[in-house]
Amino acid sequence: MSCFAGICGSVCGGSSAPPAPIKPAPLSPRAFAQVSPRGQPQQAGLIIPETSDPAAAIQQSLTPHVSLSANLVKDLEGTHGFQSLLLHKSESQGEKHRLQNYYKMPPGSEDALLGEGGFGSVKKMIHMATGKQRAVKSIEVTSENVGMISDELSILLNLDHPNVLKVFEWYHDPENDMMHIVTEICRGGELQDLVLEHHTVNSAALLIQVFHAVQFCHGMGVVHRDMKLENCLLKEKFNPDAKDQGAEARRALIKVIDFGLAATRGKGEAMSEVLGTPYYIAPEVLQSVYDEKCDVWALGVMMYMLLTGEHPFVVPSDVRRKSPKKLFHRIKTNPPHEEPIAMMTPDARDLVLKLLEKDHTKRISAAQALAHPWCERVRSQVIGETQVNRTVLKSASENMQTYCRMTRLERVLRTVAAREAATHDMEDLRKAFFELDKDGNGKLSREEIAQLFEEKIGGQDGGGSSAPILSDELWAAVDTDGSGEIGYTEFLAAVIDRSRFANEETIRGAFQYFDLDNNGYIDRHELELVVGEDEAGRALKRLDRNGSGDIDCSEFATLVKALSRKNKSCLQYCRKFTQEDFVELS
């Protein structure tokens, strides 16, 4: 027996033999519709303005609600400058601001449909400025669902984490009353597929990422309320035949999707709406008194299914019933099926039973689950060595030290580059983020960054101090909202290498973000929205070579390429630009 097969047995169960074939029909969560009062998804506590105009309702409800975690549009610095730009762009009106002016169907459009249902459809489309594929979720806007749409959008905008689906922008089509939400595309299929294909060990490693996503959401005050295998997508295809499955597990990236039923709540704050997917619904949800631990129950169901290939409460006769009433009774009263769980190792069994604790006040949290011995063993035996190369850390620290001297414009450009970069291009920095995040909450404190810089950077030079590396000035520049923590995109923007945002794709993508009215130029007003009046005036004076009063794409590209070559702040560099510099750099 191979070492890897032995790991399969030691992490997932008492035997290395694959689990019995799963029966797709009984386990299909689509056998029953999502449960919700009056048959309609709830609007997660959002007060919807009384209006006959759905578009107006979205704007009224979205605008104050996007600041869920108080980290959107706080000021015009860094990430927040970009978010402000994104809000202005996506709320723009007029014929030019339509989905079809920015996105097109890919060649061979017959396979462009990624999914559809009662919510609308999800299609694969091409971003014309960069040529990148993205997913576009199109939803018909009605007075009944306007709150749910704005809630899902505002929640996704605030959940900045490597394991949560990323939103790029959104468009409203008033003629057809459609809302189009543009997100990153995931090509690797659902986590459910790994159950069907018996990739048990890989599933165990990927489940750790789901735990991280749920811990982060709960820390941000977001309860998903529809966690399930089908709502966990692989960013790219998983190679089950790879020789080094540990490396494959380290490379794979999970994205949690579909926050349509999510709610924003404080820790332990009760909810009462009965909703979700029957196979994953927690007993306390059925009793209409629950909190964020309902997501933890769903994690327990997912873990049970991933390790055994079976559901902890479903019986074959469930598939023949039109009502899930008897299933709900077992969820509330019965223990999980004993035979499959008996095949697990003691620590796996212990964790599953803690996740599937009937009393949600005694159920462990996602953070506690991540600290469980089973998760520790998966990380050490399956995922293996994940320590980031010191060269990467040293480069990141050097880039961060220059960040505080950058202007608002350059910080926004770096944020765009971080958001636009392909997943594989950010893999080293993503690993660095997770290594820095000692408590696993999806954010980095000053202490976490300073400690790792001292260990990995100062240590290699004989134990240097972290003080000059992480000064008060630098931390204030990075922690723009003064929360004491920085998010994933803020981290990437601060440490990304300049050369990564000088490519043509990023330049075109960034230009389009600034060009709010899509007329091919960045005018003074559009620039002021991000960098303020003074800096906008100086930038136009130096960059507007033809005296038109605005910046075209060529002039914008010159600026970005110059920034990538010179180790100076944007403002300093603009002051020294001459006509000869522009000609040389063009």
Active-site residues: which are they? 226
CB 148 within 8 A of CB 211: no
CB 577 within 8 A of CB 553: no
CA 582 – CA 585 distance, rounded (Å): 5
> Cα separations (Å) of 40 from 36, 165, 190, 273?
6, 24, 25, 11
For residue 535, which of 568, 573, 480, 479 has the smallest C-alpha distance? 573
Looking at 439-503, list the stretches that DSSP marks H as alpha helix, in order from N- to C-terminal side. 446-453, 472-478, 488-495
CA 201 – CA 143 distance, rounded (Å): 45
CA 460 – CA 463 distance, rounded (Å): 7
Tokens of 477: 């520049």
CB 305 within 8 A of CB 191: no
Q: Determine the residue type at 192.
A: Q
Residue found under tokens 């108080």: 70
CA-based angle 67:158:417, to the nearest 5?
120
Tell me the torsion sign for CA atoms 52, 58, 59, 64.
positive
Q: Computed over its alpha carbons, how large is the radius of gyration of the chain? A: 25
Kindly state the helix (H) or strand (E) to which residue 419 belongs, with its residue range. Answer: helix 408-420
> Cα separations (Å) of 195 from 22, 218, 309?
8, 26, 6
Tell me the torsion sign for CA atoms 96, 97, 99, 101.
positive
Tally of CB atoms within 10 A around 176: 10
CA-based angle 95:179:36, to the nearest 5?
165
Say which DSSP state 151 is in: H
Tokens of 152: 């899902």
CA 584 – CA 249 distance, rounded (Å): 46
Kindly state the helix (H) or strand (E) to which residue 181 belongs, with its residue range. Answer: strand 178-183
For residue 65, which of 85, 44, 81, 93 has the smallest C-alpha distance? 44
CB 83 within 8 A of CB 73: yes
Residues in the chain: 586
For residue 427, which of 377, 478, 479, 500 has the smallest C-alpha distance? 500
CB 52 within 8 A of CB 144: no
> Cα separations (Å) of 348 from 42, 298, 351, 355, 372?
35, 16, 5, 11, 9
